[in-house]
C-alpha cells in the first residue's frame, strides 16, 4: 500500500502523456531484471500486469508529483531484485488497485490468477469503520496483514518492499504524517524484516526511520561520523592490512572488509549506554569471510593471536544461530592504540543469508526439503495464528506480535538438551509456554540447573530448566507482571478471560435470579420465547452474553429483569408482583467474578456489602470500609450479599503485633500461630532499634471466630503488648 498518498490525496488531473510512456527507461530496466531469472512467457505476463496497473492508476499522482504507477513499479522492482516468483511480482504491481481504484479482487483473479488476487487482498487495507479511531483501524489492518503473512509470507515481502519505497520518498508528505509513518516502520516493519533475515532491508528501514523521526540528531551524528572518518581512516587501513597479511600466513584464505556502523546503531548505543559520541569507539567493524565452518574457528584463533580479545565479548552464532537464521562468530579485539574493534567471522553462504535473508529462497520449494532454520521460520509464521486465537482484539494481538518480533537473546536448555531461544529477561513461565501451551498453563514450579527456583526467576544463557506441572493447576494473573514473550502473555490472558467469562456468567445468573425473585419470578419462568424477544429487542447475541455482561457489571440486573418481565407479559405471561429480594451468598471460591476487596480484606463473620464494578464483576467489602463510604454515587451498583454458613475456604487477614524487642520473640509468635491452625502468608518487621518492635503478619483463617481464638492465644505471650487486626 502506498502510505504517502491516499485516494483523497491523489491528483484528479490526468497527465496528457500516459505514465507507461513517461517512464519508459524505468520499465526497460525493470524488464531487464525480470529477464535475468524468469522465462519469456512469465516476463510477458508481468509486463501485462504493469500495463493494467498503469491504466488503473491513470490520472493519479503521488505527493511528490510523480505518476502514481511509479510506486508499484518500484515495489515490483525490489521483489525482482529478490528473485521472487511472477505471481508475487504481479501482485506488487497491482497492490494498490483494489484500495485506490474501482478494480475488484475477482477482476484480478480472472486476469492474473487466484494466487495474485489473494496476495493483493492480503496487502490491501480494510475499509475504516465509522467512529473507529485511527489506532483501532491500523491495529485491525496489521492483524489482517500478519495473518495473511502466516498463510503466505509473500504478503509481507510485498508490504516490506512497499514500505521501503514509501520511506525512500517520505520527504514529500507533511511532517506529522512523516513522523507517524517512521515510528510505525521502526516499531513493526523493521523488526519483521529482521525476523525474516532481510538484514540489508532491516538496516535501511532503521536508518530512514531515524532520519525522519529525529532529523536534527541524524544530521549531527552524520557530521560527527564524517569528521571521525578522516581521523580513523589510518587506523582502519592499518587493521585491514594486518589481517589481510597475517591470515594467509596462517594458511587461511579470507576476504577482509572494513565497514562503518550505521548511524541508527551508533545512536541506539549512545542512548542505551548513556555515552557521548567520543565514547563510542567502535564505529567501525570488520568482516572476515572464509570458505567453510572449520576455517571460521581457525580464523578466530588467528585473530585472537594478532590482537587480544575482550573477555566476555565472544558470541558463537554458528553453533547456536539467531532465530532469523543469522550465523557468524563475533569477537571484540583490542586493536592499535587500545581501540576496541568488532570482528565477524563467517562463510560466504552465511554472509549471503545475513545480507539477503532466507525468506526469498525457500518459500516455494517442497516442504520436506526445508532446512531446520526454514522450518523454524515457518513455525514462527504459524504461531501468529495461535497468537490471534488467544488475543481478544486487534490492539492486543498487535501488542503480542510486537513483543515477539524481537528475536531471542538468551539460549537455554530443556532437560533433554534441546536449545530454546528466548528474549532477554524471560522467566521460567516464558520457557514453559515456549515448550507447549499446556505446560505453561499447568506449571507450578521449576528447577533451574537442578535447583528449585521461583517461577518468576529471570533466565540466563546456558541455564537448564525443568518445569514441574500439576493436573489441576491454572495460570496465575500475577504472571502477567513478569512474563516477557508475546505467546505467554496471550495464552495467560486468553485463559483468564475464558475463566472470567464462565464465572461471570454464573454470577450474572445468580444476580438476575435474585432480582427476578423480587418481581415474584424465577429464572425458569423466563422461557426460550421470552429470551428470544429480549435478545431481538436489545440486539444481544445470546443469553450467555447477557448473563456475562451482568456478572461483569456491563448491564444492570434490575433493568434486564424488568425488560424480561415486560417481554414475558408481551408473550402472554401473568403480570409480576414485587417481593423482597434475597441476598447473594459468598463462598470465597467463586474465582475472578467475585473478588474480596484488598482494602478491607473481609472474612466470614464480617458484615459485608457487594458492589458491581464495570468489567471487574462483584467486589465484596466490609460494610464499614472507608473506600466505599466515599463513593455514594455507586449506591445503584450495591448488591445484598451474605456469607455462606458452612464455607470451608481460608481467607487472608492482616494483624499487627507490638512486642518487646527480645531475642526469640518472632519464633514464639510463629509457633503460637501454627498451634492456632493458621498459615503465615507474609511477615514484615518495623525495627526502629528501640525497646519495642512491630510485627506485621498476613495470616490465613477460616472466619472471625478462628481469628479471635488466634489473637487470644497470642495475647498470652508475655512479650506481646498489643495486637490489632489491620484492614487498610
pLDDT at 21: 41
pLDDT at 370: 47
pLDDT digits (tens, 9 = 90+) for 271-287: 887 888 777 766 678 99
- The residue written with cell numbers 497470642 in the block is 714
pLDDT at 149: 67
Could you tell me if 672 and 562 lie in one domain? no
Tell me what percent of the residues of the chain surpass a pLDDT of 90: 20
- Number of folded domains that form the chain: 4
- Whichever domain contains 260, its CATH number is 3.30.460.10
Cβ atoms within 10 Å of 414's Cβ, excluding its own:
15
Could you tell me if 548 and 610 lie in one domain? yes
Could you tell me if 639 and 655 lie in one domain? no
pLDDT of 161 strictly over 60? yes
CA neighbor of 159 nearest in space, from 184, 178, 134: 184
Average pLDDT over residues 573-597: 66
Look at residue 722 and tell me if it is in a domain: yes
Q: Considering only 80-89, 512-521, 571-580, which range has the smallest mean pLDDT? A: 571-580
The burial class, CB within 10 Å (0-12 / 13-18 / 19+), for 454 is: exposed
Catalytic option among 26, 42, 99, 409: 99
Look at residue 71 and tell me if it is in a domain: yes
- Grid coordinates representing 393 are 482484539
Look at residue 661 and tell me if it is in a domain: yes
Look at residue 4 and tell me if it is in a domain: no
Given the DSSP bridges, would you call strands 584-586 and 641-643 parallel, antiparallel or unpaired?
Answer: parallel
Which domain range does residue 111 map to? Answer: 19-196
pLDDT at 712: 92
Look at residue 393 and tell me if it is in a domain: no
pLDDT at 9: 37
pLDDT digits (tens, 9 = 90+) for 125-141: 654 444 456 666 666 77
Could you tell me if 191 and 44 lie in one domain? yes
Among 322, 356, 390, identify where a domain stops: 356
Could you tell me if 598 and 678 lie in one domain? no
In three-state form (DSSP H/G/I as H, E/B as E, the rest C), the secondary structure along 425-447 is CCEHHHHHHHHCHHHHHHEEEEE
Tell me what percent of the residues of the chain surpass a pLDDT of 70: 80
Q: Considering only 339-348, 522-531, 561-570, 632-641, which range has the smallest mean pLDDT? A: 632-641
* C-alpha torsion 502→386→485→615, nearest 10: -30
| Torsional sign, CA 180, 182, 183, 188 | positive
Catalytic option among 96, 100, 396, 404: 100
- Whichever domain contains 674, its CATH number is 3.30.70.260
pLDDT at 371: 56
pLDDT digits (tens, 9 = 90+) for 297-314: 999 999 999 999 988 888
pLDDT at 395: 63
The DSSP element (H or E) to which 329 belongs, if any, is strand 329-334
Could you tell me if 607 and 662 lie in one domain? no
CB-based burial, 571-602: b 16+ in 10 Å, e otherwise: eebeebeeeebeebebebebbbbbebbeebbb
pLDDT of 397 strictly over 70? no
The span from the CA of 402 to the CA of 404, in Å, is 5
150, HSE (Cβ side, Cα atoms, 13 Å): 16
The DSSP element (H or E) to which 50 belongs, if any, is helix 40-56
The span from the CA of 271 to the CA of 531, in Å, is 60
CB-based burial, 638-651: b 16+ in 10 Å, e otherwise: ebebebeeebeebb
Look at residue 361 and tell me if it is in a domain: no
pLDDT at 347: 93
Could you tell me if 676 and 605 lie in one domain? no
Q: Considering only 177-191, 198-212, 613-627, which range has the smallest mean pLDDT? A: 613-627
| 66 is known as an active-site residue | no
Average pLDDT taken over every residue of the chain? 80
pLDDT of 362 strictly over 50? no
Among 643, 673, 696, identify where a domain stops: 643
Could you tell me if 632 and 661 lie in one domain? no
Could you tell me if 559 and 690 lie in one domain? no
pLDDT at 171: 84
The span from the CA of 277 to the CA of 571, in Å, is 79
Could you tell me if 100 and 159 lie in one domain? yes
Angle between the N-to-C axes of helices 70-81 and 86-93, in degrees from 0 to 180, rounded to the nearest 10: 160
Could you tell me if 624 and 604 lie in one domain? yes
Among 196, 226, 246, identify where a domain stops: 196
Could you tell me if 638 and 659 lie in one domain? no
- Whichever domain contains 66, its CATH number is 1.10.3210.10
The span from the CA of 515 to the CA of 534, in Å, is 16
pLDDT digits (tens, 9 = 90+) for 241-272: 899 999 999 899 999 988 777 888 888 888 88
Look at residue 428 and tell me if it is in a domain: no
Look at residue 202 and tell me if it is in a domain: no
| Dihedrals phi, psi of 13, to nearest 5 degrees | -90, 120
pLDDT of 11 strictly over 50? no
Average pLDDT over residues 554-575: 73
- The residue written with cell numbers 458491581 in the block is 612
pLDDT digits (tens, 9 = 90+) for 618-636: 788 888 888 776 555 566 6
| 99 is known as an active-site residue | yes
pLDDT of 471 strictly over 80? yes
Amino acid at each position: 500500500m502506498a502510505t504517502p498518498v491516499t485516494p483523497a490525496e491523489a491528483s484528479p488531473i490526468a497527465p496528457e502523456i500516459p505514465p507507461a510512456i513517461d517512464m519508459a527507461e524505468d520499465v526497460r530496466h525493470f524488464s531487464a531484471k525480470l529477464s535475468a531469472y524468469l522465462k519469456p512467457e512469465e516476463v510477458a505476463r508481468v509486463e501485462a500486469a504493469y500495463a493494467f496497473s498503469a491504466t488503473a492508476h491513470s490520472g493519479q499522482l503521488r505527493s511528490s508529483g510523480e505518476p502514481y504507477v511509479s510506486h508499484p513499479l518500484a515495489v515490483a522492482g525490489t521483489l525482482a531484485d529478490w528473485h521472487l516468483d511472477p505471481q508475487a511480482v504481479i501482485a506488487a504491481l497491482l497492490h494498490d488497485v483494489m484500495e485506490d481504484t474501482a478494480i475488484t479482487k475477482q477482476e484480478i483473479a480472472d486476469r492474473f490468477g487466484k494466487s495474485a488476487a489473494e496476495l493483493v487482498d492480503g496487502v490491501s487495507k480494510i475499509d475504516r469503520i465509522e467512529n473507529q479511531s485511527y489506532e483501532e483501524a491500523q491495529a485491525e489492518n496489521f492483524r489482517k496483514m500478519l495473518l495473511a503473512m502466516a498463510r503466505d509470507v509473500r504478503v509481507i515481502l510485498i508490504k516490506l518492499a512497499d514500505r521501503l519505497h514509501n520511506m525512500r520518498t517520505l520527504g514529500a508528505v507533511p511532517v506529522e504524517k512523516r513522523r507517524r509513518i517512521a515510528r510505525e516502520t521502526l516499531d513493526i516493519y523493521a523488526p519483521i524484516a529482521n525476523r525474516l533475515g532481510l538484514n540489508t532491508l532491516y538496516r535501511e528501514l532503521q536508518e530512514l526511520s531515524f532520519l525522519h523521526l529525529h532529523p536534527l540528531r541524524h544530521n549531527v551524528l552524520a557530521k560527527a561520523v564524517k569528521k571521525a572518518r578522516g581521523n580513523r581512516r589510518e587506523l582502519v587501513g592499518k587493521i585491514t592490512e594486518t589481517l589481510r597479511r597475517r591470515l594467509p600466513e596462517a594458511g587461511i584464505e579470507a576476504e577482509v572488509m572494513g565497514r562503518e556502523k550505521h548511524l541508527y546503531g551508533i545512536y541506539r548505543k549512545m542512548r542505551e549506554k548513556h555515552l557521548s559520541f567520543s565514547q563510542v569507539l567502535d564505529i567501525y567493524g570488520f568482516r572476515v569471510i572464509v570458505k567453510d565452518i572449520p576455517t571460521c574457528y581457525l580464523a578466530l584463533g588467528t585473530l585472537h593471536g594478532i590482537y587480544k580479545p575482550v573477555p566476555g565479548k565472544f558470541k558463537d552464532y554458528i553453533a547456536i544461530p539467531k532465530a532469523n537464521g543469522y550465523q557468524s562468530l563475533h569477537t571484540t579485539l583490542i586493536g592499535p592504540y587500545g581501540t576496541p574493534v568488532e570482528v565477524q567471522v563467517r562463510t560466504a553462504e552465511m554472509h549471503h543469508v545475513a545480507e539477503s535473508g532466507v525468506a526469498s529462497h525457500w518459500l516455494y520449494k517442497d516442504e520436506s526439503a526445508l532446512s531446520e532454520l526454514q522450518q523454524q521460520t515457518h513455525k514462527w509464521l504459524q504461531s501468529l495464528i495461535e497468537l490471534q486465537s488467544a488475543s481478544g482484539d486487534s490492539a492486543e494481538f498487535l501488542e503480542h506480535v510486537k513483543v515477539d518480533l524481537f528475536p531471542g537473546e538468551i539460549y537455554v536448555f530443556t532437560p533433554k538438551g534441546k536449545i530454546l531461544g528466548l528474549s532477554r529477561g524471560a522467566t521460567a513461565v516464558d520457557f514453559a509456554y515456549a515448550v507447549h501451551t499446556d505446560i505453561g498453563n499447568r506449571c507450578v514450579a521449576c528447577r533451574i540447573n537442578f535447583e528449585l527456583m521461583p517461577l518468576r526467576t529471570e533466565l540466563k544463557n546456558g541455564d537448564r530448566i525443568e518445569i514441574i506441572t500439576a493436573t489441576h493447576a491454572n495460570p496465575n494473573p500475577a504472571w502477567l507482571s513478569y512474563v516477557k514473550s508475546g505467546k505467554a502473555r496471550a495464552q495467560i490472558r486468553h485463559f483468564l478471560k475464558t475463566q472470567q467469562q464462565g464465572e461471570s456468567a454464573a454470577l450474572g445468573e445468580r444476580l438476575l435470579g435474585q432480582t427476578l425473585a423480587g418481581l415474584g419470578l424465577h429464572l425458569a419462568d423466563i422461557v426460550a420465547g421470552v429470551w428470544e424477544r429480549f435478545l431481538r429487542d436489545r440486539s444481544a447475541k445470546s443469553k450467555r452474553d447477557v448473563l456475562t455482561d451482568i456478572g461483569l457489571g456491563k448491564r444492570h440486573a434490575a433493568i434486564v429483569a424488568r425488560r424480561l418481565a415486560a417481554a414475558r407479559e408481551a408473550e402472554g405471561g401473568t403480570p409480576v408482583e414485587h417481593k423482597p429480594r434475597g441476598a447473594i451468598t459468598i463462598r470465597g471460591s467463586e474465582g475472578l467474578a467475585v473478588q474480596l476487596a484488598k482494602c478491607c480484606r473481609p472474612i466470614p463473620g464480617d458484615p459485608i456489602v457487594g458492589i458491581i464494578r464495570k468489567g471487574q464483576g462483584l467486589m465484596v467489602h466490609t460494610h464499614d470500609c472507608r473506600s466505599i463510604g466515599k463513593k455514594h454515587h455507586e449506591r445503584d451498583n450495591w448488591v445484598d450479599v451474605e456469607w455462606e454458613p458452612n464455607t470451608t475456604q481460608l481467607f487472608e487477614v492482616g494483624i499487627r503485633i507490638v512486642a518487646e524487642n527480645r531475642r526469640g520473640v518472632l519464633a514464639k509468635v510463629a509457633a503460637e500461630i501454627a498451634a492456632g491452625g493458621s498459615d503465615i502468608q507474609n511477615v514484615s518487621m518495623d525495627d526502629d532499634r528501640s525497646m519495642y518492635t512491630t510485627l506485621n503478619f498476613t495470616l490465613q483463617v477460616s472466619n472471625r471466630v478462628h481469628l479471635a481464638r488466634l489473637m487470644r492465644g497470642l495475647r498470652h505471650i508475655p512479650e506481646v503488648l498489643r495486637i490489632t487486626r489491620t484492614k487498610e
